Structures are given as structure tokens and as C-alpha cells.
Structure 1
Amino acid sequence: MLSHGHAYTTDLPINVGPPTIEEISMAIRQIKSDKAEGPNNIPAEALQADVVVTAKILHILFNTIWDEEQVPTDWKEGLLIKIPKKGDLTKCRNYRRITLLSIPGKVFHTILLNRMKDCVDAQLRNPQAGFRKDRSCIDQMGTLRIIVEQSIESNSLFNIDFID
């Protein structure tokens, strides 16, 4: 595949084997604590109380999921909660919505994300900042300003796409 003169491959070197105990332990530590638990009422603190034991238990579960290629239904679902903001509560815009997800499911998904992010990041062009860690809108605004200034200097047109 070609994009702006760059060749990209769809064959990324991502580990597709079952999760290891080390990956599970790391993912458990990455889950934020002091957050509401998901539909199965398992808080992050329960998994983080003894990471070694939890990782061994989840390793058995994750291997079964991996072998059967069947993710538990409650890991695919979330509990949508509306949190009121200030203002007229009869208007939808005055609510913030959050989705509570299964914490064991978050651990599983964190492992998959950890495996993919470095490989995918290596394929993205450096100017690509959206949805990437440690990239900021401020950097993009500086780049945009330079492009606008160069366009004005050369009296040329340009297009801008804003994606939110």
C-alpha cells in the first residue's frame, strides 16, 4: 500500500500467541485503580491486591479464551452511565456519559493494545499525532501555522481537514 509516497506493509510483526504471565502482570499494573467497576462488579483493586496470584489465574482464563477464540460476552458490553453537569438536566448536552467496562476484560484488551501499539506507531508518519500517546494539539497547531505562513508567502491554496 502507498500513502503519500511511503510504502506501508500490512504484515506487522505482532505477537499473536497467547498472553504470557509477564504480559498479564504488566497489564494489571497499567489498569487505573479508584475507578468504578464494570458490569461484573470486579474492581481493579481486587486484581491488583496480589498481582502474582491474579496473573496466574488470569493466565489460565486467557489461554482458554485464546484457544477457544471466544471472548466472554460481558467483556464486549459496557454499562452506560450519565453524569449530570451544570444546567438544565432536561437537555442531553448537560450530561457527561461514561461507559463502565469489565476490569478483567480491560486487562485482556490492554495486553492486545500493548502488543499492537509499537508496531503500528512504527508504521505511522511522524506528523501523525491523532490517537497517539505523548503527542499534543499544540505541536499540531505549530505545524499548521507554519503551513499557513508558507502558503501565504507563496500565494498558494491548501486544504485542511479537522478530525475530532
Structure 2
Amino acid sequence: MKRFTSAALMALALAAPTFTPATAQDEDSAFVTFQVLKPEVALTAAVAAMESCRDAGYQVGVMVVDRFGLPQAYVRDRYAGLHVFETARRKAWTAVSFRTDTMSLGETTAPDGMMGAIRDLSEPLALGGGLVIEAAGSIVAGIGVSGAPGPDLDAVCAEAGIDAILDEIAF
């Protein structure tokens, strides 16, 4: 019987999620597998969203976060406001955290509604412009746009960012 050092076992454990995609048969496994965007793909989405807004006459900031809400790519157009970094980050984080677009979350968390207390939390931003990026039925990232004249327009630009990478993430 071959014995492994703790370092070898740790290396195997860290590499295990990359061997095969998750399937229903993996329920007996001690590991989970997941997909995240490569940084280059995240950057492509961010730039495409920014350029979509620029073409419409808006100066914005765009953040793409991974499925855990950690930043992967950020771009800011030359005249975008100072607030767009935080706002775009929080929109993208909120989308992946709540697994929904932030425009819908804004409606669900109306101040007088049953879910209104979500607005009292420090991180979520229930303001349109944050979308989840999905591939093969799983959330792989989130994108947040801030700086257009309205959150609905931020969402249009975010959708353009996703559209720019659809061919790369379709599997």
C-alpha cells in the first residue's frame, strides 16, 4: 500500500475539483467541483459592458466577481464617477450572493415588504445593474455596472458584457 505525505494529500485535495465536472453521482464524494471564469474572460465581459455603455453615451465602471463574490476584473471609463467602483462591486456581489439580478431583488426587497430587512445588511445593493453569469446551469460569476443614468440602463450594459462571452462559456 502506497503512503502519501500530508503535502501530497493536500496537493491532491486542491487539484481534485479540476479533474471532472460535478454530476449527480458525486454525492458520495468528499469534494465539490465548480467552474469560475478565467480572468481574461472576466475582463472581456467587463470591457464589453463598458463599451456598450460608452456607445450609448454613458461613463461607467464595471466589476466582474467570481461565483464567491471576489473581484476578478474591474474597468472604469475615463469620466465615470468616483462611486462606481463600490457600486459596481456591490451589485455584482449581490447578484451572486442572492442568485438573482439586482433589479428583481430591488422589487423583492421593497422597504415595506417581507424581505425588506435585506436592505439593512451592509453589503447587498438592491439596485439594478447586477446580473449573474451562468454556464451549464451553474453560476460562474456576477457582473455589476454603475454610472448610467438609470439602473435599468446599467443592466442593459451588463447584459452586453455577458453576451460578449457567451460563445466562450457555452459548454
Q: Same fold (TM over 0.5)?
A: no
